[in-house]
């Protein structure tokens, strides 16, 4: 039985009234909390004051010691009080020295040097490198080929001897070559699965043509046809004493290094070679043309836009560096703030001044949602136009120029932390024919650039005649690109090889 209903029925039957609710005493007013005792005086009150900004640090890039041996081989030493010495052997020939139809030759030759020597074939070379507690790296760029090794300072002579053995007595075994080339081709195929990388290869190939526009690592068809004799021939011509420099960064002296080099590099061929292929720039593309690489089902589009700039040795390099940094080298750069922060099209946008001995290029790259490909490309061209023409309402400001300058100076300073990065910077200095004190003067060179000089550097931009590549889903992006005035054509298959 529901007792609550039963009791209620009894009350009604008896005609009794319910007892009045008891009266509650009012709540007492809140009492103030007892005050705590005062805290003791701060023994270090200065901690409550924000410290004033200090003076900007002064960058002191080390001035190297340099000597040329009788053979023509150059030696550069930077004394750095560290227990490990960083060694780089740089040759003045890279991808630009690969003949037409043999792209990838310089890079594959460098790779084969690490596969063994006549004295230490195959794994035995790796064992010798491991005894130094190191790794042997080979890398080819547009202008140079570099072999890198590190060792304890006490093992410096042995490291120099091993580097000399690698370049003077390569094994060049056919079975090793077949294996390395097969792995190399697999790497090229994998590389072309990356939309960003494919867009970059296609854009530079279209801008520069062959052979200079061919990938450093080679095209699939060219590498497939390379032979071991091609590598032997290139090695004989490109690896010569007068075309090389050995850079050592570590706790050593020039005289000690010189003696070790003279003992070890006696077999390096003397003289120098003129192997670089002639370069001529073709006609610019039609206005607002887009080379489209179709990727059905892609949810993003990789965009790369390039145009010619002066080569590295042309005056105005520092102004071009500042220009591309404020355009797309920082988080606060114009392209990134527009495409990422304002429009949320992308995670980031990038611009770079690519400068070699033979050519230069403005390189702009980003990846955006497929549905905003056309809009993002319009914004890229808009930012380039604003940088080129101050009359459009967005002149280059002192503030953004200051950020770009600080980034370039601090980036150079960051290289001082690692001996290998110092050696790499000196290798660039040597290969580009820069004066020995160039990087010591670099901050002052940047400081001498003004908004006017950077604006003059930007005047070369021609946003209407960019070489533009989009890697994305054609069914999604083509109509919208045409709607905003772009001419869309399929990228020739030769550019994606």
What are 219's two structure tokens? 């095209």
What pLDDT is stored for residue 110 in this prediction?
96
What pLDDT is stored for residue 318 in this prediction?
97
Confidence tier at 464 by pLDDT (50, 70, 90)? confident
Confidence tier at 33 by pLDDT (50, 70, 90)? low
User: Which domains are seen in the chain, by residue range?
Assistant: 65-264 (3.30.830.10), 289-496 (3.30.830.10)
Query: Is a pLDDT exceeding 70 seen at residue 489?
Result: yes
Residue 218, phi-psi category: left (phi > 0), alpha (psi -120 to 50), beta (remainder): left
Confidence tier at 28 by pLDDT (50, 70, 90)? low
The sheet carrying 300-309 orders its strands as 346-355, 360-369, 300-309, 467-472, 289-294, 487-490
Q: Does the global pTM surpass 0.75?
A: yes
Q: Mean pLDDT over residues 471-492, rounded?
A: 96
State the Rg of the chain over Cα: 33
Query: Is a pLDDT exceeding 80 seen at residue 29?
Result: no
Tens of pLDDT along 213-263?
999 999 999 999 999 999 999 999 999 999 999 999 999 999 999 999 999
The residues, ordered by sequence, that sit 6+ positions from 226 with a Cβ below 8 Å of its Cβ are: 102, 104, 105, 108, 181, 218
Q: Mean pLDDT over residues 146-169, rounded?
A: 95
Q: Mean pLDDT over residues 381-402, rounded?
A: 96
SS3 191: helix
Confidence tier at 25 by pLDDT (50, 70, 90)? low
What are 336's two structure tokens? 């990134």
Q: Mean pLDDT over residues 282-290, rounded?
A: 92
Q: What's the CA gap between 463 and 400, in Å, rounded?
A: 21
Query: Is a pLDDT exceeding 50 seen at residue 17?
Result: no
Buried b (16+ CB within 10 A) or exposed e, 449-468: beeebbbebbeebebebbbb
**What's the gap between Cα 183 and its chain centre?**
24
What are 356's two structure tokens? 């070699």
Closest CA to 197 of 217, 222, 226: 217
Tens of pLDDT along 113-128?
999 999 999 899 999 9
Q: Mean pLDDT over residues 385-404, rounded?
A: 95
What pLDDT is stored for residue 54 in this prediction?
63
Phi, psi of 156 (to 5 degrees): -60, -45
Average pLDDT, rounded, for the chain: 90
Query: Is a pLDDT exceeding 60 seen at residue 307?
Result: yes
Q: What's the CA gap between 61 and 97, in Å, rounded?
A: 31
Q: Mean pLDDT over residues 470-497, rounded?
A: 96
Q: What's the CA gap between 248 and 101, in Å, rounded?
A: 36
Decide: 220 and 187 in contact? Cβ < 8 Å: no
Query: Is a pLDDT exceeding 60 seen at residue 1?
Result: no
What pLDDT is stored for residue 40 in this prediction?
84
| Region of poorest pLDDT, from 44-48, 147-151, 203-207 | 44-48
Q: What's the CA gap between 88 and 141, in Å, rounded?
A: 14
The count of residues in the chain is 497
Q: What's the CA gap between 52 and 60, in Å, rounded?
A: 24
Q: What's the CA gap between 108 and 140, in Å, rounded?
A: 9
């Amino acid at each position: 039985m529901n007792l609550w209903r039963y009791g209620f029925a009894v009350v009604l039957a008896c005609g009794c009234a319910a007892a009045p609710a008891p009266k509650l005493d009012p709540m007492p007013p809140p009492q103030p909390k007892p005050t705590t005792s005062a805290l003791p005086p701060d023994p270090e009150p200065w901690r409550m004051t924000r410290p004033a900004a200090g003076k900007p640090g002064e960058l002191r890039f080390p001035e190297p010691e340099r000597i040329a041996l009788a053979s023509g081989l150059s030696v550069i030493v930077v004394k750095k009080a560290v227990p490990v010495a960083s060694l780089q052997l740089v040759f003045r020939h890279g991808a630009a020295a690969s003949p037409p139809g043999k792209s990838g030759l310089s890079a594959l030759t460098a790779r084969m040097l690490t596969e063994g020597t006549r004295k230490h074939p195959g794994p035995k070379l790796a064992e010798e490198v491991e005894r130094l507690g190191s790794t042997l790296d080979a890398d080819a760029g547009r202008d140079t080929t570099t072999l890198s090794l590190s060792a304890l300072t006490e093992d410096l002579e042995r490291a120099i001897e091993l580097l000399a053995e690698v370049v003077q007595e390569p094994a060049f075994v056919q079975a090793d070559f077949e294996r390395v080339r097969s792995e190399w081709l697999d790497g090229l195929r994998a590389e072309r699965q990356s939309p960003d990388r494919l867009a970059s290869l296609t854009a530079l190939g279209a801008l520069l043509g062959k052979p200079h526009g061919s990938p450093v690592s080679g095209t699939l068809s060219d590498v497939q046809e390379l032979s071991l004799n091609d590598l032997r021939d290139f090695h004989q011509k490109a690896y010569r004493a007068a075309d090389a420099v050995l850079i050592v960064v570590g706790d050593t002296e020039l005289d000690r290094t010189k003696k070790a080099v003279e003992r070890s590099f006696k077999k390096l061929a003397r003289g120098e070679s003129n192997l670089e292929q002639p370069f001529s720039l073709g006609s610019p593309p039609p206005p607002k043309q887009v080379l489209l690489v179709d990727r059905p089902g892609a949810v993003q589009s990789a965009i790369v836009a390039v145009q010619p700039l002066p080569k590295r040795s042309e005056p105005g390099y520092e102004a071009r560096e500042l220009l591309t940094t404020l355009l797309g080298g920082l988080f606060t750069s114009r392209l990134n703030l527009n495409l990422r922060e304002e429009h949320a099209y992308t995670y980031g946008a990038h611009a770079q001044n690519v400068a070699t001995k033979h050519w230069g290029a403005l390189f702009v790259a980003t990846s955006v949602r497929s549905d905003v490909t056309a809009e993002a490309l319009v914004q890229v061209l808009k930012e380039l136009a604003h940088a080129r023409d101050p009359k459009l309402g967005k002149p280059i400001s002192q503030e953004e120029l200051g950020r770009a300058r600080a980034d370039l100076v601090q980036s150079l300073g960051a290289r001082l932390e690692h001996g290998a990065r110092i050696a790499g910077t000196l290798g660039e200095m040597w290969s580009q024919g820069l004066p020995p004190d160039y990087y010591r003067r670099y901050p002052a060179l940047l400081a001498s650039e003004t908004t006017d000089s950077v604006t003059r550097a930007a005047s070369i931009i021609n946003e209407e005649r960019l070489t533009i590549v989009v890697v994305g889903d054609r069914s999604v992006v083509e109509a919208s690109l045409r709607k905003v005035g772009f001419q869309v054509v399929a990228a020739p298959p030769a550019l994606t090889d």
